[in-house]
Chain A
Amino acid sequence: MSAERDLLLKLQGVSKRFGEKAALANVDLSVQSGEVHVICGENGAGKSTLMNIVAGILRPDEGEILINGRPVHFSDPIDAAGAGVGMVHQHFKLVPSMSVAENLYLNRQPRHWRVFSDRAAMRAGAEALIRRYRFELDPDAEIARLSVGQRQRVEILKALGFNARLLILDEPTAVLTPPEVAELLMIISQLKIAGRTILFITHKLGEAKTIADTITVLRDGERVSTRPSRGLSEADIALDMVGREMRPPHRNIPPRAGDRPVLALSGVTMTTALGRRLLDKTSLSIAFGEILGVAGVDGNGQTELTEAAAGLAQIQSGAILLAGRDVTKLSVRARRNAGLSFIPEDRLDRGLSATMTVSENLCADLYRRKRLVGPGGLLRGAAVSAFVSATIRRFDVRGATPSLPVGQLSGGNMQKIVIAREMEKQPIALVVAQPTRGLDIGATEFVHGQILAAADAGCAILLVSSELSEIFALSDRIAVMFRGRVVGVVDRAVATEESIGLMMSGAVVEAGA
């Protein structure tokens, strides 16, 4: 078939395991030359693994890669670049102290007399590349001083600069504001006109539909479908991604608005040494049993918001109130004792100590409350055992025993330990950030269930998430953060993805919403 000859990239039977887990199982993929091919899937579906294999970062355990019909074996990303494959990563791989030009030419520098770096040639080459794609970057600018969108453009240039015919973009819009997203989509159309082929990974259905010629859906490491995007609805794609009809989670008990707020931040401001405002007079209040979802692109102050509320970061002005009491000057421990719990956004960074046991992570600050400590501070072994085993059972933490190092559990089960610890205190207020990042469907459902149950029990919940679908599924009200400010708070009932999306890019919604 003539279509075969137009295939720039063909994957046949590609499989990859990490330890016992099969990240990819027998995946086939066909990408036409000159098309924009979107790969969709939930977190953990295998999208990044597949793209890392194409880009030469990982090697497949089984299967073949063919470029223009010829089989290739990439030993490293440079090999792949030589064959015309360039990848733009989700986490940029740029050296902060070096300039744009220096990053573009890293490890392939033009030389003076074979020993010295020819910086003038690097600068000239970078300028030519920037002008060719009309990117508006200063080749001498230090990466550390560029915005996220600009850095992404440097990454794209890096991938293009070596005559990449196939450009892979891994979740590129996760860190962009809506106008930057629009710019990126425009760049992609331009590249397509210039004859490049684009592989675009995303789990955001709207984007997929906008940009794609063809959409392939992965689920649990397998390819579920490949269809032209015309005529495909978002619901169709979602069905393939998830495999069944999603039951939206629901609240049994509505929140009690109008009471005195349980958790409130008032005029909270956090500045850096240079005076930049990470939080700018932020004010939020959450009532008994209410879930307030905070939406926004990562990096607009959400992390700082959660850390300020938990007491892990200092604020320069404003107040934080818990059940009417000013806790601004209280330590983390004091706030926790007063009934505040915190599920941090990165469970391995803040939520757990991977080398310590399940028991030690679970009981971390519950010893006194659960009467697990005897005289002299000695632990009561039997009581600890009983508590931990009961909790493991109640939360259905798979594969966990009390003395197992917690880092050996799967992501979802680790998250369950964090949740169990934070919920066991029956908190009156809960701050939770990115609760289902990196979790599969089953674990996600469980976590959402726990959050809703806590709200039903009266807990005031501050939920921060970069997944708009999660915000919409759980929140009673939705707040949007942009550049450290709360630019609007809307009732869930009247909120739409458009209006929230607008606010995420800084537009202010009229009052009354």
Chain B
Amino acid sequence: MMWASQFLAPTLVQTTPILLAALGAMITSRANILNVAVEGMALVAAFTAIAVGQATDNAMLGFACAILAAIAMALLFGFVSIVLGADFIVAGLGLNILAAGGTLFLLEQVYQDPGGLRPDSFPEIWRVPEGSLDWLPVIGPAFERQSFIVLIALIAVPLSALFLYRTPLGYALRAVGEDESAAVAAGIHVARMKLIAVLISGLFAGLAGAQLAMDRLHFFLPDMTSGRGFIGLTAALFGAARPWPTGAAAFLFGAFGVAGDRLQLLQAPSQFVLMAPYLAALLALIFARWRAAVRGRPAPVERKAP
């Protein structure tokens, strides 16, 4: 059973940013927004986490500022697309370019190192204490020393379900995404709902970026997110924007990344290993659409003798 928890532990670490991004994309999906900007928001959060964490030597402060930074980017994105009427996808791509360019600019201007921000020492975030869970078989050891953000991510799945299906705000959001005219007729403020969805996705993206930078790595590299935001978006599409399927898909894609690492032991070239999550996500999406196409095929007409 050791190998199970040995597989589960890194999977939790690798999956968490993807899961968080997926949940953020899912919430905006419910408001009928294809949110490609989670990638950029997470990147900004990662940068802020390291920058503030290093400057103040306080992990929680770094964490808090990372979340705020991501929400600020989300606000910008929401403002430009919802209030000013920009196309969501173009604005999302623009936000990603801004995030990448902006962080690189700050790296060069403030830290004089376009290669990345690598502090010599970095404060630790809160983790599940070692040895506290060894009464729980398999899962216990896997959860020990996991960052608290991992725990947040896991709880976020049922919490999102609760939010979407059991709160008035969740109902309103779903109405906006499914039938805008029904929402308007019921007096729901569509633009406000969409903005709320975007801000929530900023919160999730911020958590994703913070986890990515602060859990094991403790440094920031340009393009650090490497498409995890997009993989999360794919998971949300694959899961039809429903919390549990989305969470499962994100977990699956993350697991592919870890499985790929194991494959490296068999001396497969590292590039193919790294390809695994993207391939998995793409193939999953293709499979889902293929299933839908097959299911949607019209039923054949029986040829009875006249």
Q: How far is the CB of A142 from chain B (nearest CB, A)?
A: 12
Complex contact A109–B171 (CB within 8 A): yes
Which of A189-197, A266-274, A421-429 sits within the interface? A266-274
Complex contact A93–B299 (CB within 8 A): no
Complex contact A89–B299 (CB within 8 A): no
Give which listed residue, B187, B297, B299, contacts A107 with CB less than 8 A.
B187
Complex contact B178–A96 (CB within 8 A): yes
Complex contact A316–B300 (CB within 8 A): yes
Q: How far is the CB of B39 from chain A (nearest CB, A)?
A: 29
Binding site for A on B (CB under 8 A): 162, 166-168, 170-172, 174-175, 178-179, 181-188, 295-301, 303
Complex contact B178–A95 (CB within 8 A): yes
Most buried by B among A78, A92, A103, A107: A107
Residue in chain B with minimal CB distance to A278 = B298
Complex contact B185–A316 (CB within 8 A): no
- Given A117-B167, A275-B299, 11 more A-B residue pairs with CB atoms under 8 Å apart are A92-B182, A95-B178, A95-B183, A106-B175, A106-B183, A106-B186, A107-B172, A116-B166, A117-B166, A316-B300, A316-B301
A102 surroundings in chain B (CB, below 8 A) = 171
- Please report the C-alpha to C-alpha distance between residue A94 and residue B187 in the assembled complex, in whole angstroms: 13
Complex contact B298–A271 (CB within 8 A): yes
Give which listed residue, B167, B168, B298, contacts A272 with CB less than 8 A.
B298
B184 surroundings in chain A (CB, below 8 A) = 77, 93
Give which listed residue, A76, A95, A119, A314, contacts B182 with CB less than 8 A.
A95
B162 surroundings in chain A (CB, below 8 A) = 116
**If A111-B168, A116-B166, A316-B298 touch, does A95 touch B175 (CB 8 Å cutoff)?**
yes
Asked if A115 lies at the interface with its beta carbon under 8 angstroms from chain B, I say yes
Complex contact A270–B298 (CB within 8 A): yes
Most buried by B among A91, A97, A119: A97
| Interface positions of A from 414 to 453, Cβ below 8 Å from B | none
Q: Which 8 A-B pairs have the closest CB atoms?
A: A78-B187, A93-B185, A93-B182, A275-B299, A107-B186, A106-B186, A317-B301, A316-B301
Q: Could you name 10 residue pairs across A and B whose Cβ atoms are closer than 8 Å?
A: A92-B182, A94-B182, A97-B178, A98-B174, A107-B186, A107-B188, A109-B168, A111-B168, A273-B296, A314-B298
Q: How far is the CB of A409 from chain B (nearest CB, A)?
A: 25
| Interface positions of A from 447 to 472, Cβ below 8 Å from B | none
Complex contact A93–B174 (CB within 8 A): no
Residue in chain A with minimal CB distance to B292 = A273
- Please report the C-alpha to C-alpha distance between residue A314 and residue B298 in the assembled complex, in whole angstroms: 9
Residue in chain A with minimal CB distance to B302 = A317
B188 surroundings in chain A (CB, below 8 A) = 106-107
Give which listed residue, A57, A95, A269, contacts B301 with CB less than 8 A.
A269
**If A89-B185, A95-B175, A97-B174 touch, does A117 touch B298 (CB 8 Å cutoff)?**
no
A106 surroundings in chain B (CB, below 8 A) = 171-172, 175, 182-183, 186, 188
- Please report the C-alpha to C-alpha distance between residue A91 and residue B181 in the assembled complex, in whole angstroms: 9
- Please report the C-alpha to C-alpha distance between residue A57 and residue B188 in the assembled complex, in whole angstroms: 13
Most buried by B among A92, A93, A103, A111: A93
Task: Give the total of A residues in contact with B, Cβ under 8 Å.
Answer: 34
- Please report the C-alpha to C-alpha distance between residue A108 and residue B187 in the assembled complex, in whole angstroms: 9
B179 surroundings in chain A (CB, below 8 A) = 93-96
B300 surroundings in chain A (CB, below 8 A) = 271, 316
Residue in chain B with minimal CB distance to A77 = B185
**If A98-B171, A116-B166 touch, does A77 touch B187 (CB 8 Å cutoff)?**
yes
A314 surroundings in chain B (CB, below 8 A) = 298
Complex contact B298–A273 (CB within 8 A): yes
B167 surroundings in chain A (CB, below 8 A) = 115-117
A76 surroundings in chain B (CB, below 8 A) = 187
- Please report the C-alpha to C-alpha distance between residue A102 and residue B164 in the assembled complex, in whole angstroms: 13
Give which listed residue, B174, B296, B299, contacts A95 with CB less than 8 A.
B174
B181 surroundings in chain A (CB, below 8 A) = 91, 93
Residue in chain A with minimal CB distance to B168 = A109
A117 surroundings in chain B (CB, below 8 A) = 166-168, 170-171
- Please report the C-alpha to C-alpha distance between residue A111 and residue B175 in the assembled complex, in whole angstroms: 18
- Please report the C-alpha to C-alpha distance between residue A57 and residue B186 in the assembled complex, in whole angstroms: 11
Complex contact B303–A317 (CB within 8 A): yes
Most buried by B among A78, A95, A97: A95
Residue in chain B with minimal CB distance to A313 = B298
- Please report the C-alpha to C-alpha distance between residue A196 and residue B175 in the assembled complex, in whole angstroms: 30
Complex contact B299–A98 (CB within 8 A): no
Most buried by A among B175, B296, B303: B175
Q: How far is the CB of B184 from chain A (nearest CB, A)?
A: 8
Q: Binary interface profile of A, 51-95, with partner B (CB < 8 Å = 1, else 0)?
A: 000000100000000000000000011100000000001011111
- Please report the C-alpha to C-alpha distance between residue A103 and residue B179 in the assembled complex, in whole angstroms: 11
B299 surroundings in chain A (CB, below 8 A) = 271-275, 316
A274 surroundings in chain B (CB, below 8 A) = 299
- Please report the C-alpha to C-alpha distance between residue A271 and residue B296 in the assembled complex, in whole angstroms: 11
- Please report the C-alpha to C-alpha distance between residue A116 and residue B166 in the assembled complex, in whole angstroms: 6
- Please report the C-alpha to C-alpha distance between residue A275 and residue B166 in the assembled complex, in whole angstroms: 34
Residue in chain B with minimal CB distance to A91 = B181
| Interface positions of A from 233 to 274, Cβ below 8 Å from B | 269-274
